[in-house]
């Protein structure tokens, strides 16, 4: 049965994307690995749902740059003063690092040197999805990832689509990582949770004419400065209807012109993606299944081989 589960999981992914990943990878070397990660994520989400949203976003930001190798976790050092976490798409908005630290510390106490930080991020994103969806988004992820040693801030600008991206940029950016246009639309549903800094949308969506609905635009103008700065850049929830729940409300917001980013509104700029938005808005259970499948697919981007990756002792530093 275990072998069948591996085959089924790999069939969901891109051809040749499994790279030796297995379901239950740590069953003999660290049997409590996934439970230990889940416990830390549950603790964090109960204290602050936003940390769970940050962890889901972390998986995306990690996997799109250098593959799913925990390169986004590396701190600056004299040898590498500008790692990914200091790149504009990540700093200061990316959050959840302390949750990964806590999970890794628990793993090192239980089975030192066994579980990679990249697997911790994948497990944590899965668990955050489950908790924030009130147990409706449930999936397994194969494990066996290795941690990378390269982490460059400028790479984040090359590979991560931004909030001002148009549809063609979004589609091509996801395609470069082996993900389809439908995967992109489905994963965009994560914008039903979490917060955004005003600077991510004010210049593009409020300072100029846009399709954003007047009531939301008025609310955002009251909460955001006209010209956000590093010292004055507050955050707002991305979904004003169900801000603490991972659900399909995002797609309803897109249709109602109540979304923050140009990249969100762009989903209606083609017939194909517009049809996907309407379907996801209408059929919650279908979107949940597609979201789970797309998360597994994303968590298998560009996995490091044994000659390239390592298992870090500290997720913030290479060995």
Which position among 61, 134, 140, 197 bears the catalytic label? Answer: 61
| 272 annotated ligand binder | no
Cα–Cα distances (Å) from 251 to 1, 82, 99, 190, 232, in that order, read 37, 36, 29, 10, 30
Give CA–CA dist 136/138, Å, rounded.
Answer: 6
61 is catalytic: yes
> Is 225 labelled a binding residue?
no
Residue 65 is labelled as binding a ligand: yes
Q: Please give the DSSP secondary-structure letter assigned to residue 86.
A: G
What is the residue-level pLDDT of the chain in tens, covering all 319 positions?
333 333 334 444 443 344 679 999 999 999 999 999 999 999 999 999 999 999 999 999 999 999 999 999 999 999 999 999 999 999 999 999 999 999 999 999 999 999 999 999 999 999 999 999 999 999 999 999 999 999 999 999 999 999 999 999 999 999 999 999 999 999 999 999 999 999 999 988 887 667 888 899 999 999 999 899 999 999 999 999 999 999 999 999 999 999 999 999 999 999 999 999 999 999 999 999 999 999 999 999 999 988 889 999 999 999 9
Q: Which of 187, 184, 155 is nearest to 170 (CA)?
A: 184
pTM score: 0.92
Query: What whole-number distance in Å separates Cα of residue 139 and Cα of residue 299?
Result: 12
Residue 40 known to bind ligand: no
């Amino acid at each position: 049965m275990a072998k069948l589960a591996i085959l089924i999981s790999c069939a969901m992914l891109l051809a040749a994307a499994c790279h030796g990943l297995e379901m239950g990878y740590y069953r003999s070397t660290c049997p409590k690995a996934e439970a230990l990660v889940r416990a830390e994520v549950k603790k964090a989400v109960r204290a602050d749902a936003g940390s769970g949203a940050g962890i889901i976003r972390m998986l995306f930001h990690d996997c799109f740059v250098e593959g799913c190798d925990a390169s986004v976790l590396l701190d600056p050092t004299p040898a590498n003063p500008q790692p990914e976490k200091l790149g504009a798409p990540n700093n200061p908005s990316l959050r959840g690092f302390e949750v990964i630290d806590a999970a890794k510390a628990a793993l090192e106490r239980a089975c030192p040197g066994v579980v990679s930080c990249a697997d911790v991020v994948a497990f944590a994103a899965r668990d955050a999805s489950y908790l924030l969806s009130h147990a409706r988004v449930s999936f397994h992820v194969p494990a066996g990832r290795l941690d990378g040693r390269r982490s460059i801030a400028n790479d984040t600008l090359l590979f991560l689509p931004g909030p001002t991206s148009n549809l063609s940029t979004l589609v091509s950016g996801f395609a470069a990582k082996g993900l389809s246009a439908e995967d992109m639309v489905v994963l965009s549903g994560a914008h039903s949770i979490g917060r955004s800094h005003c600077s991510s949308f004010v210049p593009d969506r409020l300072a100029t004419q846009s399709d954003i609905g007047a009531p939301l635009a008025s609310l955002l103008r009251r909460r955001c400065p006209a010209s956000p700065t590093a010292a004055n850049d507050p955050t707002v929830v991305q979904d004003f209807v169900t801000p603490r729940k991972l659900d399909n409300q995002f797609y309803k917001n897109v249709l109602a012109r109540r979304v923050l980013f140009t990249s969100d509104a762009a989903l209606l700029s083609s017939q194909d993606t517009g049809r996907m938005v309407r379907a996801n808005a209408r059929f919650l259970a279908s979107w949940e299944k597609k979201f789970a499948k797309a998360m597994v697919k994303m968590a298998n981007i560009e996995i490091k081989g044994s000659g390239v990756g390592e298992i870090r002792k500290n997720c913030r530093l290479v060995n």
